[in-house]
Copies of this chain bind each other. A is one copy, B any other.
Amino acid sequence: MLALGSRRYGLAAVVLILAGACTHASPGPETPRWVDLTHPFDETTIYWPTSKPFALSTVHKGPAGGGYWYEANNFEAAEHGGTHIDAPVHFAKDRWAVDAIPLDRLIAPGIRVDVSGRVQDNADYLISRADFIEWEARHGRIEAGSIVLVRTGWEARWPDKKRYLGTDTTGDTANLHFPGFHEDAARFLTQERNVAAVGLDTASLDFGQSTEFKAHRVFGAANVPGFENLTQLGTLPVRGFRVIALPMKIGGGSGAPLRIIAEIP
């Protein structure tokens, strides 16, 4: 197993080139390591203040009549809570629903952009076009078909609802405070870089104080899915990994619980 340190980018790049054929089905020295970017769904999982939260109800847990152990549950939730996907149709008519998103928008080379230094004193920070231009100056152009993950540092606040959302009051959308994408950044990533998907470690593609959800609308119109409430972004290298993001296949869904991992060769 190659356990690359997250700051050894030069080596990572070399390994990536060497590992160009590294999608082997058979085990061997190319076996990657994985980072799970997903929060679990449980009673602490954070949902939008107006949304139905996740609930698990026990059907059975214990010895069954036949002399064996048996556990089973039912569950319910809103599509948009916890680590989840926004399908383009969430904010854009006639765009892809969850089950219609092609797999090459969900499985693709990833990059990580870290804006946590700029965000710590500004819960209403808007991730800007300049953040990506600056990243490119240091790490190279964002290639078409990439999945762009932005770390704001908000992941460290999970599952403290008050600190993560800005409010822990049901129904209170007036006091939401967390970073999100500026609409110009959304335009840059979709129109000028043609990315496959985007994700971040906050509750929404748009910042907490948004009322017009312009980033959602730009990404949606461009058929670019969004991944929200990610975690462990701080453990990723800036590039040289692959994102595998597989949502629950809700037919016609506007969103869905998402299991998302990074695969590091």
Copies of this protein in the complex: 2
A177 within 8 A of B: no
Determine the distance from Cα of A104 to Cα of B32 in the docked complex, in whole angstroms. 10
A133 within 8 A of B: no
Identify the stretch in A115-123, A163-171, A243-251 within 8 Å (CB) of chain B at 4 or more residues. A243-251
Asked whether A32 lies within 8 Å of B23 as measured between CB atoms, the reply is: yes
User: CB-CB < 8 A to A72: which residues of B?
Assistant: 51, 78-80, 90, 254-255
Contacts A26-B143, A76-B76, A254-B73 known; A248 to B109 CB distance under 8 Å? Answer: no
User: CB-CB < 8 A to A71: which residues of B?
Assistant: 89-91, 254
A10 within 8 A of B: no
User: CB-CB < 8 A to A196: which residues of B?
Assistant: 25
Query: Which of these, B89, B101, B246, contacts A244 with CB under 8 Å?
Result: B246
Asked whether B40 lies within 8 Å of A249 as measured between CB atoms, the reply is: yes
A57-82 contact mask (Cβ, 8 Å, vs B): 1 or 0: 00101000010111111111111100
Identify the stretch in A124-132, A150-158, A181-189, A209-217 within 8 Å (CB) of chain B at 4 or more residues. A209-217
Least distance between A103 CB and chain B CB atoms (Å) = 5
Count of interface residues, chain A, beta-carbon cutoff 8 Å? 85
Least distance between A79 CB and chain B CB atoms (Å) = 5
Least distance between A210 CB and chain B CB atoms (Å) = 10
Least distance between A201 CB and chain B CB atoms (Å) = 16
Asked whether A25 lies within 8 Å of B250 as measured between CB atoms, the reply is: no
User: CB-CB < 8 A to A240: which residues of B?
Assistant: 25-26
User: CB-CB < 8 A to A102: which residues of B?
Assistant: 1, 23
28 A-B residue pairings within 8 Å (CB atoms): A21-B265, A23-B102, A23-B104, A23-B242, A23-B263, A23-B265, A24-B104, A25-B110, A25-B145, A25-B242, A26-B108, A26-B109, A26-B240, A34-B104, A40-B99, A41-B251, A42-B252, A52-B74, A56-B251, A59-B78, A66-B213, A69-B92, A69-B93, A70-B91, A71-B90, A71-B254, A72-B80, A72-B90
4 extra interface residue pairs, beta carbon distance < 8 Å, beyond A72-B78, A73-B255, A75-B250:
A26-B144, A66-B211, A71-B254, A73-B254
Q: Which 10 A-B pairs have the closest CB atoms?
A: A42-B251, A76-B76, A246-B259, A71-B254, A40-B251, A1-B102, A246-B246, A69-B93, A25-B108, A26-B145
